[in-house]
Amino acid sequence: MASAAPSHDHECPDSPCRTLHGARWSEHIATSNPTSSARRAARRSGPGGICSWDAWKPRETISPVNRGFVDHARGGGGTVEGRWAVRGGSRIRVRGPYAGVVRLLTWTFAAYLAAVLVVTLWPSPQSTDAPGWATATLGFLQGLGIPITLPVLEALANVVMFGPFGLLGVPLARGAGARRRGVAPGPWRTAALVTLAGCALSVAIELTQHLLPGRVPTVQDVVMNTAGAFLGAALVALAVVAASARRRVVAGVA
């Protein structure tokens, strides 16, 4: 008669106990109760290798936005399907070390988009005067001796307004690609897609402004918004490429 599997609260604190249970203990834990407490217990059941959860679950120090996320999971005989690590019929959700950062970026991006929509689509009274913020900023800059005109200031404001779209959009898009495919898309490809998305958003805003009182849609706004999205996305892409090159140099030296 087969012996019963260990209970979930068994912690296997010492080496003899770990040796006794071996792979059967970890398989039981990983299959029947893939919770955080079970993961901790499975880790305690062995120092690594085939009898430990860590043998096929990506280690917490490995980011899900690089190839090591997949390679490490498959190294223990498992596979990665989207957000799930799979082995022997067991499906366990994999959360990378930057899950909290991704959540923060997502909420920040949502708040940013809401602010952009309020600023650009809120109906304003018909007026030929420049906005108060524009005249105040223009006076401040001219007081510093900077030769700038109102049209130039408004164009720069449109660039700055869409800069965060690229800054936040690229890491979010790369993270989403990594969760779906296991490998993040290239930084420049992602930057191009995010720039196109920023252009599409700007076009949608300008078309909507046709229906709003006090709003004057222009092609220049679309061009400046797209330029801002591109600059933000390009900065992130450059940072990713530089970080990747630095890691390769360090790995070569080591």
Task: Return d(Cα 192, Cα 21) in angstroms, integer.
Answer: 52
Task: Return d(Cα 76, Cα 216) in angstroms, integer.
Answer: 60
Of the residues 43, 66, 93, the one at which a domain ends: 93
Query: Domain check: are 89 and 103 in the same one?
Result: no
Residue 52 in this model has a pLDDT that exceeds 70: no
Q: What would the pLDDT profile of 120-176 be if each residue is shown by its tens digit?
A: 998 775 544 566 767 778 777 778 888 888 888 889 999 999 999 999 999 999 988
Of the residues 57, 75, 93, the one at which a domain ends: 93
Q: Residue type for 65, please?
A: V
Are 70 and 182 in contact by the 8 Å Cβ rule? The answer is: yes
How many domains does the chain fold into? 2
Query: Which parts of the chain fold into alpha helices (H)?
Result: 15-32, 36-44, 68-75, 99-121, 132-143, 150-181, 187-209, 219-253
Instruction: For 84, list phi and psi in degrees, rounded to 5.
Output: -120, 135
Q: What is the pLDDT of residue 232?
A: 98
Query: Domain check: are 149 and 31 in the same one?
Result: no
Q: What would the pLDDT profile of 172-211 be if each residue is shown by its tens digit?
A: 999 888 878 877 889 999 999 999 999 999 999 999 998 8
Query: Domain limits at 44?
Result: 15-93
Number of other residues whose CB lies within 10 A of the CB of residue 90: 16
Are 241 and 187 in contact by the 8 Å Cβ rule? The answer is: yes
Are 228 and 162 in contact by the 8 Å Cβ rule? The answer is: yes
> Helix or strand or coil: residue 144?
coil
Of the residues 66, 93, 120, the one at which a domain ends: 93
Instruction: Estimate to the nearest angstrom the gap between the alpha carbon of 240 and the chain centroid.
Output: 13
Give percent of the chain with pLDDT exceeding 90. Answer: 35
What length does the chain have? 254
Q: What is the mean pLDDT of the chain?
A: 71
Q: What would the pLDDT profile of 55-94 be if each residue is shown by its tens digit?
A: 333 333 334 433 444 444 455 444 555 555 554 445 445 5
Structure tokens belonging to residue 171:
């890491």
Q: What is the pLDDT of residue 195?
A: 98
Place of tokens 């229906």: 211
Query: Which parts of 45-98 fold into alpha helices (H)?
Result: 68-75
Q: What is the pLDDT of residue 250?
A: 84
Query: Domain check: are 185 and 110 in the same one?
Result: yes
The answer to whether residue 7 is domain-embedded is no
Task: Return d(Cα 100, Cα 97) in angstroms, integer.
Answer: 8
First to last CA, the chain: 53
Q: What is the pLDDT of residue 84?
A: 54
Residue 48 in this model has a pLDDT that exceeds 80: no
The answer to whether residue 4 is domain-embedded is no
What's the pTM value of the predicted model, to 2 decimals? 0.61
